[in-house]
Amino acid sequence: MKRTRIAAALLATAALALPVAPATASPLDTLFGSASGSLDSGSAALGSSGGDKVTHYGKLGRPGAPNGIKSINVWVYTPDKTPAIVPNTYPKNSRLGVRWNSIIDAGPIVDGNECRMEVRLSGPKVPKQASLFKTQDCTAVKSYFFKGAGDFTIRVTDTISGASNSIAFSVQ
């Protein structure tokens, strides 16, 4: 009986000496770092539908993926601010591309290099060297110069989680 009390006292003393994480630290912060929308201040809202429920788009990532990516948001990227002729149709001789961010299941954006992204451009007369771009950036942009007309698709896939999404647009 006396040994039990001594052991209990030693355990209680040891528990008081354990370090405690700050109350503001999120368990996800230690895994992924900061989850901010660095490309534009409005991109964080696009990963969720407001409130507590998160909406994910595209092909969802595998549960338990090492980087935690659940989905990828994509948009047409116009670095030169080229206006669309009509929605999703742009003029020839324009620089266009894709802007993406990766979202974990809970909703925050992953803004780091924990991904293995493949960006695939398909359409008429796409040069082989432009058809596939690889990066580790979970949130980034990739642009191309479009001389000719046609219908194009850009697919962004994280090969670690399997999450992917695509955009389609036309050039006239």
pLDDT digits (tens, 9 = 90+) for 129-139: 999 999 999 99
Domain that holds residue 130: 2-171
| pLDDT tens per residue, range 154-169 | 999 999 999 999 999 9
* 39 to 52, 76, 123, 149: CA distances (angstroms): 23, 13, 26, 28
Instruction: Report whether 113 contacts 139 (CB < 8 A).
Output: no
**Burial 54-77, CB ≥16 within 10 A → b, else e:** bebebbbbeeebebbbbbbbbbbb
Other beta carbons within 10 Å of 130 = 12
Query: Using one digit for the tens of pLDDT, what is the confidence trace for 49-107?
Result: 445 678 899 999 999 999 999 999 999 999 999 999 999 999 999 999 999 999 999 88
CATH number at residue 161: 2.60.40.1930
How many structural domains are present in the chain?
Answer: 1
